[in-house]
Amino acid sequence: MFYVTLHAAWMILAVAIGTVAGYMGLLRATMGKGGRSPLPGRFKMRPHVAFGTAYYLMLYAGMLFGWLMSEYLLPGPYLPSAIGNLHIGLAIAIGVLYGLAWVIGGGLTKKPAGASRLRPRLHMVCNYTACTLVAVQIGVAVYYVWIL
């Protein structure tokens, strides 16, 4: 149970850091013509990129640890087979979506969006879709590991 708790705590810390990055991105997305957002705070690119990068790295490290834990550290399956497969499948989908968001976001730091808002919107769609899947992932894990 120690490894499972360690994995869960790591992923929850990653989500907290990702929430900060997401809020900063939301500040940028809601800016009006005067450069002001109706949300409290100011958008700055460097902290957004720093928190986003820290989140992605922590997330992928947590996924790798989760896989290593399930393959080599746990004595038996912790989740029922179908739920374990769902957990791994969701992790792969989340990893792909966040990978796309990372690539698109990295491109935005090199070449800003300008008049076209397609790339920033794709970046947001990938991030928020993956974020929703992370919430499902956490809900499934909490239910099957700690409630049942």
pLDDT at residue 96 in the model: 95
Dihedral pair phi/psi, residue 9, rounded to 5°: -65, -40
Work out the average pLDDT over 20-35. 85
* Rounded distance between C-alpha atoms, residue 111 and residue 114, angstroms: 8
65-106 per-position pLDDT tens digit: 988 888 888 776 666 778 888 888 999 999 999 999 999 988
Q: In this model, does residue 63 exceed pLDDT 70? A: yes
Evaluate if residue 1 carries a pLDDT over 90. Answer: no
Show the tokens assigned to 139.
């809900």
* pLDDT digit string, tens, across residues 29-59: 888 777 788 888 888 889 999 999 999 999 9
pLDDT at 115: 66
Over residues 105-134, the mean pLDDT reads 87
* Average pLDDT of span 5-10: 89
Domain count along the chain = 1
- Tell me the pTM: 0.81
Q: What is the mean pLDDT of the chain?
A: 87
Question: Could you tell me the residue range of the domain that residue 56 belongs to?
Answer: 2-147
Rounded Cα gap, residues 132 and 117, in angstroms = 22
- For residue 116, what pLDDT is reported? 77
Q: Taking residues 2-29, what's their average pLDDT?
A: 89
CA angle 38-97-40, nearest 5°?
15
